[in-house]
Structure 1
């Protein structure tokens, strides 16, 4: 049985493009690293976007584990991928992807494809090694896209009564979702937990 800690990156700077963590995001990443350091992590993978790489860097420093970039952990779309795109236009496309999971945006991939990429990442990791603990620093959208792909509506409703409708608000920055996978079945150990961020 492999355990995957799906960590959303910390709060980013409020700007377009591939931006860094904000000061608050750095504090979140450090607290997340402090929480994870005793989990006996074997691997750390990260989205290639800067805010995720920086979050992974803090976890790496605490766990003494090398960080590996993996494109499959990238968000379905990022504000700034389309030159001159306003934030309002980006949100409109994002919401369209969430409603129509087969819709492919002008730059990026569909919600269904994004979930499939994370699923394939987990399957490939499981095929390569067993009984390991892996941190995957990624994005909120890809976590919910994956969960909608692999879990039933009944399972999702246990996590939130309106999971699909509210998916874009369910994964706070630096929250941790813990998934176990044995090569056949997915189990949810924890969902979007952020209690480690509120501790002193």
Structure 2
């Protein structure tokens, strides 16, 4: 009795610090993604509390006629603008250190390992509560990557991309869909960062 999850990275956001909205291009991306997901028997939608994710989830939910639910565990590892006075360059340096050193705890946000554990616990809990359902999770590229690195071996991940570890920060595009299933505490990966729906 597996639960299927469609892990959707939010649509393209405005280029600014803080809790920013999705861009005009992101709005179109989200609508295309919503139409694609409407082909599947989606029963529930959960979203990160950040605005870019909620706006994406709202568009998907409107197409599916399903309200989305916020879950704080789906927030990003760290968000530029949350640490007062931090420049974008300083944020990128912090992010990259977290990526290289998965247990490094930054001054704001979570370590990469802890962030991945948040998503794992959320998905396991939802799979117990809603067995055999198909659920959309609208979240962030960094969090999806952190989760995958926690739950799957390097060999498994290299089947999705030959240089997964080194390229991890560039692999999950906006509105890409990563499909997994969960039974108990076991995850299976079926589709990684699919964006074919965006070019149809």
For each residue in 1:78-113, what CA deviation from the matched residue of structure 2 results, as whole angstroms up to 9, or x when unmatched?
A: 000011211000000000000000011101010000
Corresponding residue SS for 1:174: coil
* Residue pairs, 1:129-140, within 5 angstroms: 129-140=130-141
* Residue pairs, 1:105-184, within 5 angstroms: 105-184=106-185
Contact 2:46 2:68 in 1 (8 A): yes
Corresponding residue SS for 1:164: helix
User: Partner residue of 1:58?
Assistant: 59
Corresponding residue SS for 2:193: strand
Q: Distance in 2 between matches of 1:143 and 1:184?
A: 17
User: Partner residue of 1:101?
Assistant: 102
User: Partner residue of 1:15?
Assistant: 16
User: Partner residue of 1:39?
Assistant: 40
Shift of 1:137: 0.2
Shift of 1:7: 0.1
Q: TM-score scaled by structure 1?
A: 0.98
Shift of 1:184: 4.0
Q: TM-score scaled by structure 2?
A: 0.98
Shift of 1:153: 1.1
Structure 2 gap segments, 5+ residues each: none
For each residue in 1:144-200, what CA deviation from the matched residue of structure 2 results, as whole angstroms up to 9, or x when unmatched?
A: 10000000111011111111111100000000000011114311111000011111x
Q: Distance in 2 between matches of 1:24 and 1:175?
A: 14
Contact 2:42 2:133 in 1 (8 A): yes
Q: How many pairs does the alignment contain?
A: 199
Contact 2:124 2:185 in 1 (8 A): no
User: Which is worse superposed, 41-50 or 182-191?
Assistant: 182-191
Corresponding residue SS for 2:60: helix
Shift of 1:38: 2.1
Task: Give the ranges of 4+ consecutive aligned residues of structure 1 lying more than 4 Å apart after TM superposition.
Answer: none
Corresponding residue SS for 2:69: strand
User: Partner residue of 1:4?
Assistant: 5
Corresponding residue SS for 1:109: coil
